[in-house]
Structure 1
Amino acid sequence: MDLLALADFSLVARHGGFGKAARAAHRPKATLSRRVAELEASLDLRLFERGGRALKVTEEGRALFERTHTLLGELEEATAAIASGGQTPRGRLRISAPLLFSQTAMGGLAASFALKYPEVRIEVTTEDRPVDMIEEGYDLVIRVNPAPDESLVGRTFLRDRLVVVAHPDLVRPAEGEAVPAIVRSTNDSSPWRVLGPDGEEDIRIEPVMTLSSLIMVRDAVRAGVGAGRLPVSLVSHDLADGTLAHWGDVAGPEIALWTLYPSRRLLSARVAAFLDHLKQAFPKGTPDELAAHIGR
């Protein structure tokens, strides 16, 4: 079997089309189409259903992709490691990171990493949805409290916690009264349980604004529209200078940021270097260290 043709097939299958694959790899579309056709002829199998503008992987094509793309990835990593002496990080590094972490810290982290390793071309995609690392071609994924996944390995590199905060002029309600609140979902109307001096207590809320971004929630809380639940790293500077008042830590599990990568692939020099970069940026993994990256 022609491994180069197999690699081209995997590229087209991963990107979902010849055009997208050609643009991603900077290769002629006609060359990819010809190589895949040669592979189909050698296997006597149809790997793609071609019709109109749509390109669909056949059942046989999907089985071939699932059985070979990991091996191809390992071959690529191995040859790259040998070519670079096994030490120098180089090549493309694709990372998927959650929205808030991307907005507050990822730009600076990516920039400092690029200055340290100029031969690495880093690409960061911002999204909170679960991604399929293999199917979508990511080298590393950063996620908040991810669900267990046997196909991935990872570790926690940063921890945070939620707090209830408000503008100093907003009076904390008496027991049983509701406070105007800024929430992230129209269904969020349950009381906020916080850790008070006498144990856990509930703060009743009356949602007055729904915002999808935590940064927008923070800005609205700063303006005095209502109280909000926010990561302490995002508001620690406001709490320190009195711009916001702390009403209590939210009861419940902590926020943990994880780095995840496929366990079956060789850990490339560039992924290992970025993991080490995160460790240097957050040696203790505390909210204060993240707050230092966020700044004002």
Structure 2
Amino acid sequence: MDLLALADFNLVARHEGFGRAARASGRPKATLSRRVAELETSLDLRLFERGGRALKLTQEGRALFERTGALLAELDETAAAIASGGDKPRGRLRISAPLLFSQTAMGKLAAAFAVKYPQVRLEVTTEDRTVDMVEEGYDLVIRVNPDPDDTLVGRIFLRDRLVAVASPSLVRPSLVRPGLIPSGRIRPADNSAIPAVVRGAADQAAAWNVTTPSGKSRIAIDPVLRLSSLLMVRDAVRAGIGAGRLPISLVSHDLAAGTLVHLGDVDGPEIALWTLYPSRRLLSARVSAFLDFLKDAFPMGTSDELAAYVGG
């Protein structure tokens, strides 16, 4: 495949037209049109639908554009790095990160990374859904407990755990010890279920299974409030509306201050934050730089480090 023709195709696709691509690049429109036509002939595929003023990618053209754009950008960056005598990270770095991590830590991380690597243009998108890295043009994704994927490689950079917490006002004061409610004594005096703040309408649990220093315990709950964000859940729990299940990193300062009490560790898998990237691509300098940056920010990868980084 002719790489120059492929580069011209990407230029036209990126600017959505031969005229705009010609003006942006300073190259003749006729040359771009001829090179794209030659590429279509060599591939025996129609890459653009030409009609009227509109120029649209065909399904095959969009697939080629999505799969080759990042590779050509990496080739350009590699050539520029060699020409400048070094491999300093540069260029665009697109990252998809989950909502809670973005709300609590990503802004601070992104700002510090931008200061350290001013030639990298960092773009962070916040979303909890599973993204197609190649199709959507991401260089790196951060995910919580991701499903196995043979097309991706990555590493855990942070670990956290869920805890059940509540305001001291929800339990009998005589039963509260600093940071912990004795096992089996977390219900109100009338033995009814404890009011709870839960995340989302899908959480229909009637009880939480927790582990305390005294052993296993089961907390009967009455969901009085359903919220879509863990930050909202934490704020409502702080206000004393009900108990909640939250990452320890999000409430460790409250537990230390005694404004929340620890009902127990929620039974279940740990919370593991992964960085993932496509295995079939060479790791670019900018992705390597961001991975090293995360390692420096969280050298042990513990919830205490995350809590300290996030602050109160």
**TM-score, structure 1 as length reference:** 0.85
Name the residue aligned to 1:186.
Answer: 201
Name the residue aligned to 1:139.
Answer: 139
Name the residue aligned to 1:113.
Answer: 113
Q: Is contact 1:5-1:38 (8 Å) kept?
A: no
Name the residue aligned to 1:291.
Answer: 307
Distance in 1, Cα, partners of 2:170 & 2:139: 46
Larger Rg: 2
Task: Point out where structure 1 has 5 or more consecutive residues left out of the alignment.
Answer: none
The alignment-based identity, stated in percent, is 71
Name the residue aligned to 1:153.
Answer: 153
2:291 corresponds to which of 275, 281, 286: 275
| Alpha-carbon distance, 1:114 to partner | 1.5
**C-alpha distance after superposition, 1:241-280 (max 9, x if no partner):** 0010100001111000111111222212121111111111
Partner SS for 2:170: coil
Distance in 2, Cα, partners of 1:36 & 1:163: 60
**C-alpha distance after superposition, 1:71-119 (max 9, x if no partner):** 5355234324423434311222111111111111111111111121222
Change (3 A) 1:52 1:109: farther
Change (3 A) 1:52 1:205: farther
Partner SS for 1:180: strand
Cα root mean square deviation, aligned: 3.1
Change (3 A) 1:49 1:160: same
| Alpha-carbon distance, 1:18 to partner | 2.0
Residue 162 of structure 2 corresponds to residue 162 of structure 1 = yes
Name the residue aligned to 1:41.
Answer: 37
Q: Is contact 2:66-2:134 (8 Å) kept?
A: no
Q: Is contact 2:16-2:56 (8 Å) kept?
A: no
Distance in 1, Cα, partners of 2:153 & 2:201: 35
Task: Point out where structure 2 has 5 or more consecutive residues left out of the alignment.
Answer: 172-185
Amino acid in structure 1 at the alignment position of 2:141? V
Residue 187 of structure 2 corresponds to residue 173 of structure 1 = yes
Change (3 A) 1:41 1:108: same
Name the residue aligned to 1:225.
Answer: 241
Name the residue aligned to 1:18.
Answer: 16
Distance in 1, Cα, partners of 2:3 & 2:221: 61
Change (3 A) 1:142 1:67: closer
Q: Is contact 1:81-1:269 (8 Å) kept?
A: no
| Alpha-carbon distance, 1:29 to partner | 10
Name the residue aligned to 1:99.
Answer: 99
Distance in 1, Cα, partners of 2:155 & 2:145: 11
Q: Is contact 2:95-2:125 (8 Å) kept?
A: yes
Change (3 A) 1:197 1:46: same
Partner SS for 1:102: helix
**TM-score, structure 2 as length reference:** 0.81
**C-alpha distance after superposition, 1:51-81 (max 9, x if no partner):** 7999764354356457745653552343244
